[in-house]
C-alpha cells in the first residue's frame, strides 16, 4: 500500500516515447511542475499530451513544447503560449481542440470505464465533423469518445502514502478527473502527511486511483495573467 517514491525522476520511470500522458492543472494553477521538469530533463519525445491548457512559453507544458517533446496536444484553452501557436501554424504540432466541459467529461468517463457519451456541445460546428450524431427527444447530440492515458500526472495540496489526495481551490478543476484517467497515475503533493491525517470526508481523489506519490518542492505558483487596478 505504500506508494511513495523518492522524487519526480523515480516517479516517471516507465514513461516512453510515443505514449499518451494526461496532465492536471487549470491555467498555471495546480500543474505538476516537478514531474513536468523531470520529463523535460528526460528528453522523452513523441508524446501525446492531454491537458486543459498548454502552459506558457517557459513554464509547464510550454517547456516540453520548446524541446519538441510533444507531437499532439488534446486541449481546450491554448491562448497563452506563443511557441504552441508557432508549432501549430507550421504543422509541427497536431492539435485536437475540445470544448472545456467535453474535455472534463471525456476524462471522467474514461476513468469510470464509460467508452463514449452524447453531448449537445459542439453539434453543428467543426467539433462534430466525422463524429456520430443523434437526435434524442428533439435535440441533436454528438458522440464523444472517452479519454484515457498511459500515465496521468497530477498535483495535490496534500496526500498520504496510500495515494489519497486533497486539492486546494482551482486545482480541483481538472486534477481529480485526470487522476482517474491514467493506467498509472503519478501524484506530486505539496505536503505528504502521515496515514490517518487526512479527513476521509475531505479526500478528493481516493488512493485506489494513484500508483505513485512523492512530495514536491520549489513550487513557483506563477500567475498566468496579472490584472491590477490603476493607482
Q: Domain with 102 in it: what CATH number?
A: 3.40.1080.10
What's the grid cell of residue 45? Answer: 519525445
Residue 80: pLDDT band with limits 50, 70, 90:
confident
pLDDT digits (tens, 9 = 90+) for 173-199: 999 999 999 999 999 999 999 999 999
pLDDT reported for residue 227:
80
Average pLDDT, the chain: 94
Residue of 33, 11, 13, 12 lying closest to 24 (CA atoms): 33
Residue 57: pLDDT band with limits 50, 70, 90:
confident
Tell me whether residue 230 is in a domain: no
Structural domains counted in the chain: 1
Checking if the pLDDT of 222 tops 80, the result is: no
Mean pLDDT across the stretch 205-209?
A: 97
Q: Which domain holds residue 55?
A: 8-113+147-215
Residue 24 to residue 87: CA distance in whole angstroms: 22
Residue 113 to residue 164: CA distance in whole angstroms: 20
pLDDT digits (tens, 9 = 90+) for 27-53: 889 999 999 999 999 999 999 999 999
Q: φ and ψ at 39, to 5 degrees?
A: -65, -40
Helix (H) or strand (E) holding 40: helix 33-42
Tell me whether residue 27 is in a domain: yes
Checking if the pLDDT of 231 tops 90, the result is: no
Query: Among residues of the chain, what percentage have pLDDT more than 70?
Result: 100
Tell me whether residue 134 is in a domain: no
What's the grid cell of residue 183? Answer: 493506467
Tell me whether residue 154 is in a domain: yes
Amino acid at each position: 500500500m505504500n506508494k511513495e517514491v523518492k522524487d519526480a525522476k523515480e516517479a516517471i520511470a516507465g514513461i516512453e516515447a510515443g505514449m499518451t500522458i494526461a496532465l492536471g492543472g487549470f491555467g498555471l494553477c495546480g500543474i505538476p511542475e516537478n514531474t513536468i521538469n523531470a520529463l523535460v530533463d528526460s528528453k522523452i519525445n513523441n508524446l501525446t499530451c492531454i491537458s486543459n491548457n498548454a502552459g506558457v512559453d517557459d513554464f509547464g507544458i510550454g517547456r516540453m513544447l520548446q524541446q519538441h517533446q510533444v507531437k499532439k496536444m488534446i486541449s481546450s484553452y491554448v491562448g497563452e503560449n506563443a511557441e504552441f501557436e508557432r508549432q501549430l501554424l507550421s504543422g509541427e504540432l497536431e492539435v485536437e481542440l475540445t470544448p472545456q466541459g467535453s474535455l472534463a467529461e471525456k476524462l471522467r468517463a474514461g476513468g469510470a470505464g464509460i467508452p463514449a457519451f452524447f453531448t449537445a456541445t459542439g453539434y453543428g460546428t467543426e467539433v462534430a465533423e466525422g463524429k456520430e450524431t443523434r437526435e434524442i427527444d428533439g435535440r441533436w447530440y454528438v458522440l464523444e469518445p472517452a479519454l484515457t492515458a498511459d500515465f496521468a500526472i497530477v498535483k495535490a495540496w496534500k496526500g498520504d502514502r496510500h495515494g489519497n489526495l486533497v486539492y486546494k481551490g482551482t486545482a480541483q478543476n481538472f486534477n481529480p478527473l485526470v487522476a482517474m484517467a491514467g493506467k498509472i497515475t503519478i501524484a506530486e503533493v505539496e505536503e505528504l502527511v502521515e496515514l490517518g491525517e487526512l479527513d476521509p470526508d475531505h479526500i478528493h481523489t481516493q488512493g485506489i486511483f494513484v500508483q505513485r506519490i512523492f512530495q514536491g518542492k520549489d513550487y513557483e505558483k506563477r500567475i498566468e495573467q496579472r490584472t491590477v487596478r490603476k493607482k
